[in-house]
Structure 1
Amino acid sequence: MIRPASAADAAAVAAIYAPIVEATIISFETVAPGPAEMARRIEATLETHPWLVFEDDGGVAGYAYAGAHAARDAYRWSVNVSVYNAERARRRGVGRALYHALFEILRRQGFHMAFAGITLPNEASVGLHEAMGFRPVGVYPEVGWKLGAWREVGYWGLELQPMGPPAEPIPFPDLPPA
């Protein structure tokens, strides 16, 4: 089941994210946020953008969210997106299902482009994003230091809806039901 996240999901989300922060180059955070910080992030995101969780018999198995691409006003029709899965949920279509649901909401909100940053190398994430229709748009070389080496981050973009005169994006809590 995919549903909007709430602060009540913070401990489960933090548990999924912690090993990614602590043991991989996937996230550039170096200290895993705890449940209180995750609750704050979820609540702040939901003021304007979707944050979804995938729930199975074992609880929250993955999550995906969108946020502002950049602070300046002209960027308001673009979002950055991320998806993370628990170890038990990898290679089961959870990320793809979360992204399908997330992108449908973002389209309804009126967003035009979605961008994803991927620390390289990461074949699984590149494969997922390209399977979802993302195309490479650039690479920041040696942009971050993690786990003893300089890392580069590739960026991929996905057109959510065609270009044309945009309407103002609808904040997530104000989005009418589908």
Structure 2
Amino acid sequence: MSKTEIRMATLDDAEEIYAIYEPYILNTVVSFEYTTVPLENFKERIRKITSTYPWLVYTVDGEIAGYAYCSLYRERAAYNWDCECSVYIKDTYHKKGIGTALYNALFQLAKAQGLYTIYSVICVPNTGSVALHKKFGFKEIGIYEKTAYKFGAWRDLLVMEKHLRETQGEPGAVIKSSELPKEEVDRILQNISVDVIAI
């Protein structure tokens, strides 16, 4: 049986992560980018996101098979307790439970940070992605109709929302993912990376 692991991403993972992401740019409407991203620019994205939020990779015998991360939802201060989530799986590893495992860990880390609400914005139709998010309790809250143009057609975006905790009273400060106690991070990642679907 293959050895699987979920761990925090590092900048050393950038090239392998980008190799998963690039086909989504060039061949799908999952990403709304049109062209390839220089590796240094992609590294800067990882650096910027991981300064606050978790970015996870799922490895199979050391190979990155998928990744997921939280990122800034909106810039104004009142949105500090919100984030947006994304998950990408390598084409040879679809439908093996990797997205589920990554999201299990990601959402626990986001809650530990003190975040309240997670959003996902999905180009529809995309039955697989919508089903994955509903599995985690996301609700459909609206559609941006014909908001983006790619591959010769105008595209709709579905907005989905998940609350991590009750929104009552004044929230505490959000903890940067890099400042979460190592013991708590290890507990979350190790508990989820055990007993995932055999590859």
- Tell me which interval the TM-score lies in, with the shorter structure as reference length: over 0.9
Q: Which residue of 2 aligns with 1:62?
A: 66
1:171 to 169, 176, 182: 176
8 Å contact kept, 1:26–1:119: yes
Taking the aligned partners of 2:62 and 2:12, their CA distance within structure 1 comes to 16
Q: Which residue of 2 aligns with 1:26?
A: 30
Q: Which moved more, 1:53-62 or 1:105-114?
A: 53-62
RMSD over aligned Cα atoms: 1.0
Taking the aligned partners of 1:171 and 1:22, their CA distance within structure 2 comes to 32
1:84 to 74, 80, 88: 88
Number of residue pairs matched? 178
Q: Which residue of 1 aligns with 2:49?
A: 45
Taking the aligned partners of 2:111 and 2:62, their CA distance within structure 1 comes to 30
Query: Are 2:118 and 1:128 equivalent residues in the alignment?
Result: no
Q: TM-score, normalised by structure 2?
A: 0.87
3-state DSSP of counterpart to 1:127: helix
Report the CA distance between 1:109 and its aligned residue. 0.3
Q: How does 1:147-162 map to 2 (within 5 A)?
A: 147-162=151-166
Q: How does 1:3-22 map to 2 (within 5 A)?
A: 3-22=7-26
Deviating runs (4+, > 4 A) in structure 1? none
Taking the aligned partners of 1:32 and 1:80, their CA distance within structure 2 comes to 22
8 Å contact kept, 1:69–1:79: yes
Report the CA distance between 1:58 and its aligned residue. 6.0
Which string of whole-angstrom CA distances, capped at 9 and with x for unpartnered residues, describes residues 76-129 of structure 1? Answer: 000000000001111011001000100000000000000000001111111111
Report the CA distance between 1:43 and its aligned residue. 1.2
Taking the aligned partners of 1:58 and 1:111, their CA distance within structure 2 comes to 30
Q: TM-score, normalised by structure 1?
A: 0.97
Taking the aligned partners of 1:26 and 1:46, their CA distance within structure 2 comes to 22
The structure whose Rg is larger is: 2
Q: Which moved more, 1:132-141 or 1:162-171?
A: 162-171
Taking the aligned partners of 1:27 and 1:16, their CA distance within structure 2 comes to 12
Structure with larger RCO (C-alpha < 8 A, sep 6+): 2
2:150 to 146, 153, 161: 146
For 1:61, give the aligned amino acid: A
Identity of aligned residues (%): 37
